[in-house]
Chains A and B, each alone.
Chain A
Amino acid sequence: MNEPSPGRDTPGAIGSALLVGVGVAALVYSSEFSDLGAVFPLAIGGLMVAMGVLYLVFYAMGRTQRAAPAAGSNLRRAGVAVVMLAWAFALPSLGFLASSAIAFVLLLMLANHERWTLRTVLLYGATGVLVLGGLYALFKHALQVPLP
């Protein structure tokens, strides 16, 4: 997927360091568990810390490879992440139709790189209504899923 490019894998090292932190936290919290319940957390937490440290060692030794930086708009990417998070957490309060309609429109705007002509607005809008309405009906009525 990502071609390697020259240079050390700094993002990977950062990630490893973060995950070492997570592993340590897991180990610390596992002190509250019963004997049997703590076996796996300790083993896995330990393994994670060991592997993370190992990777950091490789990084320091220069034996890591860096993936190519991804092209494209980071702003849009972040936008999608934010919209989806907000959508998921708004579901209980705003209800399904409201939060989904808003999110759908926002995602539509984020995903569309072409210019917005009247035709595209109408076409995409109509499709959106159809898709949202159709899926809502399918789930709520045909499948009897109680959407919020």
Chain B
Amino acid sequence: MGSLEYLLAALTPLNLLLALAGVVAGTVIGALPGLTATMAVAVLVPFTFAMEPAAALIALGAIYTGAIYGGAYAAILLNTPGTPSSIATTFDGYPMARGGRGDLALTLACLSSVIGGLVGAGFLLLLAPPMATVALKFGPVEYFWLAVFGLTLIASLGEGSTVKGLIGGCVGLLLSMVGVAEVGGDVRYVGEFKALLGGVDVVSALIGLYCVPVLIELVASPGQHLDATGRVASFRLREASTLMGRAKFNLARSSVIGTIVGILPGAGGSIASLVAYSEAKRVSPRRAQFGHGEPEGVMATESANNATVGGGFIPTLVLGIPGTPPDAIILGALLVQGIRTGPTLFTEQAPVVYTFIWGLILATVIMLPVGLLIGRFAFKSIVAIPKAVLVPAVALLTVLGSFAVHNNPHEVQQMVVLGVAAWVLGRLGFSASPIVLGLILGSIAERGFVQGHLIGGARGSVVAEFLGRPISIAIIAFILLGLLWPWWVKRRQARQGQQGATTNE
């Protein structure tokens, strides 16, 4: 089709250079705990005003996808998500690193990110306008059920007692309610601390809840952080490729999940990777290994979160509605360039759009060698740096990162207070992930609930509103499936065990 000519347009030296530079810069920024993909994109935007629209988009897209990938480094090596999209990568990435397989984890993250990114970009290239309508079908009620679905995943994460996990989730949910309520305008749980009016910032909380306990634990004992076991760190490509080949369905499914969640405005990489992870765990024969260093976990999360890049551009370009937070910034940059988004974008401004999409695909492909190289470098340095220097350096990054989100020293304080609290709770047996999930999903759930309630009330029946819409019903089915499946599997195994016992007699 005519789109191939745009591929050629994307292959100009300038665009390639921008893609390369963007991926490198994005990966480095995303890797540093505290610096998110949104920040990376925001920093670059002023520079793009001088560029051609297509080139600007390519640069921004490259930095975005690099940052989402880069978040895996800190997640795997330091148990701290570099960006919210990498939260789920810590579940299996860090155990792999502790088990001496950190280099494998990094390679898998890179390969999976590339595949996920290509799938997302592929949807963008071929199916953008129809997929955009999917975004519109999700109303407040759907978002509510989606958030509930995310919250039930807490139960399935299963690290330790489920009850404690739920309590942790509730803590996160309560934290999400601090500040001015979006609907109704109540000032909740703020007390005298005016700094809390804006609520608990997710990024600061993320950094604090994950990173600070790790730092506190690191100083407790001598010895290196991650053992290099004397082996030369290699790419372990053959091993990685075998694993990837075995996990084709996982990769495909996770990438599609990532793309679709990316299309939904307001749902980004964190939710995508979570859903993909939980699905991968549910259908895998090795589900008991998930959370203890199972490579399929890393593959699921990293492919899903990079797929949100391409997916997020669908509503952004077709409808003018940002699919993920960095898209909102890119949208602003486009408006200044005079690019009017909307269905006509693909017809009237086809050159710009298609050149950009091909450029995004190229950037994703470039990420493969670049990512592997940077990953190897990062792994070798983190392993080699003595703990004595690592701890203060990472601590410095957390302070800088939590400050830089909104240039607000109060958020640094939030970060540390939450971090110390998380460490205390961790010692008492409450892990950080449910709290973070509660925090992220809490506002989505509440918003969806209250708005759905208002709309349902206006339409005559709140119950019909919540339970009667097709997409909602599908999501509720998934929720029930997720809750009942483990129980059903256990029952089936017990019954088979009984049968086996009787036949063995």
Residue B9 at the A interface, CB < 8 A? Answer: no
A9 and B428 alpha carbons, distance in the complex (Å): 9
A64 touches B409 (CB 8 A): no
> B174 near A22 (CB under 8 angstroms)?
yes
Tell me whether B388 and A72 are in contact (CB under 8 A): no
**A118 in the interface, Cβ–Cβ < 8 Å?**
no
Partner of B396, one of A111, A131, A143: A131
Q: What DSSP secondary structure best describes chain A's contact surface?
A: helix
Interchain nearest-CB distance for B35 vs A (Å): 9
Q: Complex: how many Å from CA A112 to CA B386?
A: 9
List A1-30 residues whose CB lies under 8 Å from chain B.
1, 9, 11-12, 14-16, 19, 22-23, 26, 29-30
Cα distance A139–B159 in the bound complex, in angstroms: 37
A22 touching B171 by the CB < 8 A rule? yes
Q: Report A31-69 CB contacts with B as 1/0, cut-off 8 Å.
A: 011101111110011011001101100100000110100
- Residue from B218, B399, B428 within 8 A of A11 (CB atoms): B428
A88 to B453, Cβ gap below 8 A? no
What total of chain A residues lie within 8 Å of the partner, measured CB to CB?
75
Chain B interface, DSSP helix/strand/loop, else mixed:
helix
Stretch at the interface among B181-189, B261-269, B313-321, B479-487: B181-189
Residue numbers in A under 8 Å from B212 (CB-CB): 81, 84
B219 touches A76 (CB 8 A): yes
Instruction: Give the residue of B160, B170, B183 whose beta carbon is less than 8 angstroms from that of A36.
Output: B183
A85/B416 in contact, CB under 8 A: yes
Contacts of B358 in A (CB 8 A): none
Chain B residues numbered 392-428 whose CB sits less than 8 Å from any CB in chain A:
392-393, 395-397, 399-400, 403-404, 407, 409, 412-413, 415-417, 419-420, 423, 425, 427-428
A-B contact pairs, 12 of them (CB 8 A): A33-B184, A36-B450, A41-B174, A77-B219, A77-B220, A85-B420, A91-B399, A100-B396, A111-B218, A112-B388, A113-B388, A120-B388
B→A interface (CB under 8 Å): 43, 159-161, 163-164, 166-167, 170-171, 173-174, 177, 181, 183-186, 188-189, 212, 215-223, 386-393, 395-397, 399-400, 403-404, 407, 409, 412-413, 415-417, 419-420, 423, 425, 427-430, 442, 445-446, 449-450, 453
